[in-house]
Amino acid sequence: MPPTAPASQLVVGSAAWRTGLSVLTGTRLTLRELRREDAPSRFALLTTDEVARFITPPPTTVEGFERFITWARQRRSEGCCACFAVVPHVTDTAVGLFQIHLAADGHTAEWGFALGSPYWGTGLFVDGARLVVDFAFATLGLRRLEARAVVENERGNGALRKIGAVKEGVLRQAFDREGEVFDQTLWTILRDDWAHASVALTGGRVH
């Protein structure tokens, strides 16, 4: 992750998002700000071995998720982070998240995402990713969006490739997950490329 931005140093696009994230509506889902009441469903869906295998270990309790949500909202108000809950149209429950962490330069950010495994291969990822990348460039005013995926994480890498991210290289031994060290692939999307890439995404494949 790029150096986290001190709130006072950030100068990005419109600052209105710092007072609260707008609801973003896609074909299959709604993205909205995380709420404290999302903690139980996020705990149930995002702490399974298959979801958590290649990502920073999630909190181990519902209370830990509640603290994360409080922290994320605080960081949003400081202009450093935007965390969206994924709510499919077919349910009221949050089943995943997309998060964007801004770097100190105000032009670059790292994003990450996770969905409960029952929702993999349903088209939710592409639908949400399009909204989040649009938000990053149009609302946050970013120039470059980075993502890191453990090399062995085939779904994570496949998802990034599918939405048009460019593989810039391999970061050797960049990720330590509880003592197990992994190489990561660095994927980027530039604002300049996004308009072209998003055209190819209009029909995100559903398995």
Residues contributing to the site for ligand COA (CB under 6 A): 51, 54-55, 112-115, 120-121, 125-126, 147, 149, 153-156, 158-159, 162, 205
Q: Which is nearer to ligand COA, 7 or 52 (CB)?
A: 52
Q: What's the closest the beta carbon of residue 76 comes to ligand COA, in angstroms?
A: 21
Query: Given the complex with ligand COA, which of 147 and 189 has the nearer CB atom?
Result: 147
Residue 56 DSSP label: S
Q: Which is nearer to ligand COA, 79 or 96 (CB)?
A: 96
Bridge pairing between strands 81-88 and 108-115: unpaired
CB 7 to ligand COA: min, Å: 26
In the complex with ligand COA, which residue's Cβ is closer, 46 or 103?
Answer: 46
Burial of 117 (0-12, 13-18, 19+ CB in 10 A): middle
In the complex, the smallest distance separating the C-beta of residue 42 from ligand COA, rounded to whole angstroms, is: 12
The residue number whose beta carbon is nearest to ligand COA equals 158
Minimum CB distance to ligand COA, residue 9 (Å): 27
> Which residue type, as a one-letter code, is found at position 57?
P
Shortest Cβ 140–ligand COA spacing (Å): 19
Q: Toward ligand COA, which CB reaches closer, 125 or 194?
A: 125
Beta strands in the chain (DSSP E): 24-25, 29-33, 81-88, 96-102, 108-115, 144-150, 166-177, 180-190
109: which strand partners? 102, 145
Where helices occur in the chain by DSSP H, the ranges are 39-46, 49-52, 62-77, 124-134, 154-162, 191-199
